[in-house]
């Protein structure tokens, strides 16, 4: 590239900070973090005003996202926790455990007929 070097690989640290600080680029970066979410299961061990901790990750304090749908968890319960690339919690779903008997169901074709 001669003169017009706009590829991200060609920017030095100062140019990258200038590029990243532009408002349209901040929105694009935020949108990419928003899209990259993953989930895991965890039993809540501590609850605070801005987040909580789980057994599976005792060294990590999970903070709520501003856009979280439901910000209520109870200590001792297990949840499916959805976080974004920044580690902010966007959703929790309580894991329902049944003490009742297993309900058998037939899947069509599962008995070989």
- Evaluate whether residue 58 is within a structural domain: yes
Range of the domain at 46: 37-94
- Evaluate whether residue 81 is within a structural domain: yes
Query: pLDDT tens digits for 64-110?
Result: 998 887 889 999 999 999 998 888 999 999 988 766 666 665 555 55
- Evaluate whether residue 76 is within a structural domain: yes
- Evaluate whether residue 82 is within a structural domain: yes
Q: How far is CA 24 from CA 17, 27, 29, 30, 32, in A?
A: 13, 5, 9, 10, 13
Q: Which whole number is the average pLDDT over 54-64?
A: 91
> pTM of whole model > 0.75?
no
How many structural domains compose the chain? 1
Cα–Cα dist 105/72, whole Å: 34
- Evaluate whether residue 41 is within a structural domain: yes
- Evaluate whether residue 104 is within a structural domain: no
State the pLDDT at residue 6. 47
- Evaluate whether residue 28 is within a structural domain: no
CATH of the domain at 53: 2.40.50
Cα–Cα dist 67/33, whole Å: 13
């Amino acid at each position: 590239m001669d003169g017009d070097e706009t590829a991200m690989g060609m920017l030095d640290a100062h140019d990258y900070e200038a590029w990243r600080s532009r408002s349209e680029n901040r929105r694009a970066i935020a949108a990419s973090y928003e899209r990259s979410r993953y989930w895991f299961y965890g039993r809540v061990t501590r609850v605070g005003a801005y987040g909580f901790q789980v057994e599976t990750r005792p060294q990590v304090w999970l903070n709520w996202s501003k856009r979280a749908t439901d910000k209520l968890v109870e200590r001792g319960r297990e949840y499916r926790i959805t976080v974004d690339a920044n580690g902010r919690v966007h959703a929790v779903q309580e894991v329902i455990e049944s003490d009742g008997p297993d309900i058998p169901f037939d899947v069509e074709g599962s008995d070989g007929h």
